[in-house]
Amino acid sequence: MAAGRATKAFFNFIFDTVHCAGISGKDNGFGNNYVWAGSLESGLQIATHHRKPVMVIIHKSWCTACRNLKPKFANSPEIQTLSKHFVMVNLLDEDEPKNNVYAPDGTYIPRILFISPKGMVDPEIVNEEGSSQHKYFYSKPEQIAKSMRKVLDKYNEEKFDV
């Protein structure tokens, strides 16, 4: 019995070491106080393994709205605190996924999507204070934090069954 637990602990350690190695992503201006996954793929793997939701920020280097959001996001104590419960992913320029799942209402930028611990984009988590045409556009940290809290409430209640 003890050998079985030791073996399981060993494999969990190896899994964490290998799969979490991709967690050293670039902040791309959104703040080095956050732990960023190295890619969307590694973020999804980490989320599945650790049963955490994912926050994905899709942005472009040439985008004025993206540049305006970066310091607000980077300096938000509330987002920093909430981020500890998420796998954080930011996708710059060519890292944007081509799959339309990540552009549920268009390819505008910046877009912030929330993904369940099982890897599904959650269409219910949108900027409630934003445009009905651009539901995943956020311009203020308070809007982002509100959605983050909603995600945590939802998945705590549902025990990550989404």
* Token pair 């605190």: residue: 81
Residue 91's pLDDT is 97
* pLDDT averaged per 10 residues in sequence order, the chain, 162 residues: 48 42 75 96 95 97 97 98 97 95 96 96 96 96 98 74 40
Contact in structure between 121 and 113 (CB atoms under 8 Å): yes
Any idea where the domains of the chain sit in the sequence?
22-158
Backbone angles phi and psi of 43, in degrees to 5: -60, -40
Tokens of 103: 């552009």
Tokens of 24: 């050293």
Domain 22-158, architecture per CATH: 3-Layer(aba) Sandwich (3.40)
Maximal C-alpha separation, the chain: 58
* Token pair 């999507």: residue: 113
Which ranges of 77-138 does DSSP label H, i.e. alpha helix? 77-83
